[in-house]
Amino acid sequence: MLLRGSLKSLLPRVLRRMIRCNSLSMSNTSGMAEGYKQANIVILHKSLADDFEKFCHANDGPLPLLYRSKPGDWKCPSLSGDSDIRTDCLQYRKYEHGACTGSLKSLKEYSEQLKDMVTFYLGCSFSFEKAVQAAGIPVRNVEQKCNVSMYKTAVPCYRIPPFCCNLVVSMRPIPESKLEAAVLATSELKEAHGAPIHIGEPGLLGIQDLSKPDYGDPVQLHPGDIPVFWACGVTGAEAVISCRTPLAFTHSPGCMFITDLKNDNATLRSSRGVPQVHCISQDPLHYSVVSAEAAQKIKNIEILIGTDPGNRGITHLLRQDELLKACLSISHAQSVLVTTGFPTHFTYEPPEENDGPPGALAIAAMLQALEKEVAIVTDERAMDLNKKIVEEAVQLGILKRPVPLLSYQKENADSALMFLCENGNPGRPRFDHLIAIERAGMAADGNYYNARKVNIKHLVDPIDELFLAAQTIPGVTTTGVGDGGNELGMGKVKDAVKKHIKNGDVIACDVEADFTIVAGVSNWGGYAIACALYILSTCEIHDRYLRKALGFPKMSKKMGWLAALPSVKK
């Protein structure tokens, strides 16, 4: 009796012969023929073949096409020399009119029907297991001698009629310290699904329970493991179900076709192709991916805006990589709420300073260009002023369209939650991210102070409460932009403000944001966010991660994003 450990060193042709003769009692091919490519199989009527090939190209993360046969051809000469697709998978599934009607060990009894059918060989994540292990990363399902876990998600694939289905993913537990290594090890193996499409909380993909996979076996996470998800070729089976064809076949999940092709270890030539992993949320746990090149550009911007033209001591407030992490979080958001307004000139009408609104407009313009929803919340007394600012920004072409203007007043204990969420339900937030830029922030004593310690509370609406409430809503993150420590969100660095900023012991904002961007002038922080979002949007690694390796790169929209960037003219 062969043990699984001995199968990893057998040649693919030997394994195929054993499978053909039913001499293997294994339930999946994970860990077999180490270093060789394995393939998912989809067999469809020839009338559907062209559309399915288009579907594969439109969703090449889950469905990287290795080979398409001619009708009735059960060999694949470019993948193997002696194969027969009717017999060379451990197990097959039969589909009739969109329903799985059985499992089969062989398709020979359907040889007549197969004469009018086309076989698609699609890349498989089993192919990258050796590369992952070579990077010193444990493969838990191999350790636990079981199949990988696979899940249906709520993420729709790019539709090519008649194929319309959601993405299926495989999950591998990865130690947190090895996340970046796992992404690096798989990112260039495009024919094995490439880099992960999600790292962290399964619920963000619509997966409710990791212990109940839709396909495969449950794989146990060790302490310190993070669930990491790759696009999965079983998406092809969901596509077959969606088209409701009278007859189709696939491999059974985990029972792959083993090819004679070796996985060449690709080398990354430049920082443009080297991925980095950054945690952007703890509740829910969520990581994002970006190229080292894009990350360095954003870090350089962060250094530039950290210049202290007024010698106020803001360099003591700087926190490294806050701009990068904030913008990664904003990049994942669909709806963003921006607030600004610091009535420091309290004896004038209007009392607002001109630092803040231009930066807020720069952020809003870029968010609009990226097709995200954006709204601005400000003081009730300043609504007319902000309305005029927005109208002029639209006339000048800075904004593509007017930005909704909102105001907030506390009426009861649930006011902030009702404002941020539909019917006050934390499970249905209206906004994913809140940004405060040069917005007066509440001090520890409940008052609001300008830099000269003058209390301006009578001019400030309690928008801080929205940021405090956001801390209790899973999936809502916040960013504060400031240049003196008394701005909303600067509570994260309040100890440094009290120690290094003039009057800091009184004026320091007590309300924290998840990310704190400190700039010599707050407007610079707004411009930096807009520029960083542009950099992320033009980063191929980040773009692929955002769209879950589905559809097509969005670089065609680059000119629209470029036009939204802040400029001297604007």
**Of the candidates 36, 16, 9, 236, which has an alpha carbon nearest to the alpha carbon of residue 127?**
36
Q: Is 569 exposed, middle or buried (0-12, 13-18, 19+ CB in 10 A)?
A: exposed
Domain shared by 245 and 317, yes or no: no
**Of the candidates 77, 197, 54, which has an alpha carbon nearest to the alpha carbon of residue 125?**
197
In a domain, 554, yes or no: no
In a domain, 400, yes or no: yes
In a domain, 237, yes or no: yes
Sign of CA dihedral 27, 30, 36, 42: positive
Cα-Cα-Cα-Cα dihedral of 198, 65, 8, 177, to 10°?
-20
Domain shared by 318 and 242, yes or no: no
Domain shared by 226 and 315, yes or no: no
Domain shared by 244 and 337, yes or no: no
In a domain, 46, yes or no: yes
In a domain, 7, yes or no: yes
Domain shared by 352 and 231, yes or no: no
In a domain, 557, yes or no: no
pLDDT by residue for the chain (570 residues), tens only, comes to: 444 456 777 888 999 999 888 877 777 888 888 889 999 999 999 999 999 999 999 999 999 999 999 999 999 999 998 899 999 999 999 999 999 999 999 999 999 999 999 999 999 998 888 899 999 999 999 899 899 999 999 999 999 999 999 999 999 999 999 999 999 999 999 999 999 999 999 999 999 999 999 999 999 999 999 999 999 999 999 999 999 999 999 999 989 999 999 886 555 455 677 999 999 999 999 999 999 999 999 999 999 999 999 899 999 999 999 999 999 999 999 999 999 999 988 788 888 888 999 999 999 999 999 999 999 999 999 999 999 999 999 999 999 999 999 999 999 999 999 999 999 999 999 999 999 999 999 999 999 999 999 999 999 999 999 999 999 999 999 999 999 999 999 999 999 999 999 999 999 999 999 999 999 999 999 999 999 999 999 999 999 999 999 999 887 677 778 888 887 665
Domain shared by 76 and 136, yes or no: yes
Residue found under tokens 């990287």? 64
Domain shared by 14 and 138, yes or no: yes
Domain shared by 41 and 118, yes or no: yes
Identify the domain containing residue 199 by its residue range. 1-262
Contact (CB, 8 A) for 27 and 90: yes
Number of domains into which the chain is organized: 2
Q: Is the peptide bond before 284 cis (omega within 30 degrees of 0)?
A: yes
Torsions phi, psi for 550 (to 5 deg):
-115, 155
In a domain, 465, yes or no: yes
Helix (H) or strand (E) holding 93: strand 92-96
At 106, which CATH number?
3.30.2040.10
Q: Is the peptide bond before 350 cis (omega within 30 degrees of 0)?
A: yes
Q: What is the DSSP letter of 438?
A: E
Domain shared by 241 and 352, yes or no: no
Domain shared by 177 and 37, yes or no: yes
Residues 346 and 458: their CA atoms lie apart, in Å, by: 10
In a domain, 379, yes or no: yes
* Other beta carbons within 10 Å of 231: 31
Domain shared by 101 and 168, yes or no: yes
Hey, is 280 helix, strand or coil? strand
Domain shared by 28 and 93, yes or no: yes
At 439, which CATH number?
3.90.1640.20
Distance of CA 14 to the CA centre of its chain: 40
